[in-house]
Amino acid sequence: MAHAKFSLFTGCIVDTPVMGELRILVNGALGIDRSTGRIVGTSESSGTPAKELFEHWTGQQVSEADIETTGLLADQFLMPGFIDTHTHAPQFSFLGIGHDLPLMDWLNKYTFKHESEFKDPELARKFYKGAIDRVIRNGVTFAAYYGTIHLEANRILADTIRNAGQRAFVGKVCMDANSPDYYSESTAESIEQTEEFIKQVLGGQGNCPADTRLVTPIITPRFAPSCSSECLGALGELAKRYQLPIQSHLCENPSEIEFARQCFPECTSYTEIYHKHGLLGNHTIMAHCVHMTAEELVIMRDTGTSISHCPTSNFTLGSGLADIRRFVAQGIPVGLGTDVGGGYTPSILDAMRMAAATNRALIASRRLSGEDLSGRDGVPLEAAEMFFLATQGGARVMGMAESLGSLDAGKLFDALVIDLSAHASPVPSVESTFAISCLSDPVEAWRLRLEQFVFLADDRNISRVYVGGNLIHSKC
């Protein structure tokens, strides 16, 4: 069947096109056109023959021989791939180290030193493959990576990701100011090498449309304090000229915010620094945003800028509790970031759980201080909302909501087969979960199993990973 034109999955299919609304097709069918890697149709199948489904979806005559069918097992379901909107590839080299330090000390003691080692391309060649494989094993089909300041190591990172078949934004980190001597660059180097990196990455992939390109360069001023005004302005220009996304850090920690203020005293806020240099817009991802003023959130909303919520790292570096209900209420797009190595794990499932813990801690502390929590403010984040943040929410943050994030017809097939009864699974069997085994409504039973998935599962449950219709990881 290697030459079949279409693939069909039958079984339970789950996604969240809208925040908080799980769409569960218990007896679902999903068809893929292998030549484009796109979904041609998703529906309840109710036993309809495959040929009829495809003829209905495509409006063409289809023969049975053109269809390869995969029937999901009773404990399996299909879902959109996880989207990690913020992670640092070189920081896998010191995962789990230094979590007793606040941000600026952690950067100075560990981060800059480890990243500076990537001046040796040999290290990048040896190291990045294992890091990327680990991200993929965790079900991340699309990630926004920071590299280092080094052109060659970043090129190796981009090639490694493309060879692994993962979708990614990859950024050459820019640091021409206020950075250690052993890990900084001149303004000219920062700008020229960013442009060279853009040309290398785009040139290596021909003229394919932006949404089918696997690896896209992303303009990456590390954070405002690490860049001169000239560098920030030039990076804004490069993003416009090449129509590229932008990523950086914003309002993560009080000392960092003070540092940014000292570096740009002419700006009224940290957010204003990026705004003034043309770096905000609907293709910009700002990570953290833990300590934002009301005025800053208005700038974010008015410019269409997105937020990568990185709850794991916000806990481990003690940065604080970001209020995503407040962001969502303002209409600011929000997705999840693992922020390795501020965060200790590349698991988006962990980020989902940490997002829930952050939200519960915020609600509890506000209640204790007597705040009135009316409306959504006092409602704990539900599993279906976490599911959205990890998939469709992430796609919106990455500017790809039309092409990714859910399993609707027309979208690229970036998806995961989840096996709840995988070997050594942390998710208990249905039989041992009385609350589920006694239910007669199959949709309700799946809803509870999905809650268990969100709170209990790990990479052992992620049995297949697809990007653009290609299988890039399989446990069997």
Ligand X SMILES: O=c1[nH]c(=O)c2nc[nH]c2[nH]1
Task: Work out whether 342 is an interface residue with ligand X (CB under 6 A).
Answer: yes
Subset of residues 60 to 99 that bind ligand X, contact rule: CB under 6 A: 88
Q: Which residue, 89 or 454, is less far from ligand X as judged by CB?
A: 89
Task: Work out whether 41 is an interface residue with ligand X (CB under 6 A).
Answer: no
Distance CA 209, CA 360 (A): 42
Rounded to the nearest whole angstrom, what is the least distance from the CB of residue 290 to ligand X in the complex? 10
- Segment contacting ligand X (CB under 6 A): 103-111, 369-377, 436-444, 467-475? 103-111
Rounded to the nearest whole angstrom, what is the least distance from the CB of residue 52 to ligand X in the complex? 51
Write the binding mask 311 to 340 for ligand X: x where contact by CB under 6 A, - elsewhere: --x-------------------------x-
Task: Work out whether 148 is an interface residue with ligand X (CB under 6 A).
Answer: no
Nearest residue by C-beta to ligand X?
Answer: 342
Q: Which residue, 123 or 409, is less far from ligand X as judged by CB?
A: 123
Q: Which residue, 316 or 359, is less far from ligand X as judged by CB?
A: 316
Subset of residues 244 to 263 that bind ligand X, contact rule: CB under 6 A: 249, 252
Rounded to the nearest whole angstrom, what is the least distance from the CB of residue 312 to ligand X in the complex? 10
Rounded to the nearest whole angstrom, what is the least distance from the CB of residue 151 to ligand X in the complex? 19
Q: Which residue, 6 or 270, is less far from ligand X as judged by CB?
A: 270
Q: Which of residues 38, 222, 275, 353 is near ligand X by CB under 6 A?
A: 222
Q: Which residue, 8 or 140, is less far from ligand X as judged by CB?
A: 140
Contacting residues toward ligand X, per CB under 6 A: 88, 103, 107, 111, 222-223, 249, 252, 313, 339, 342
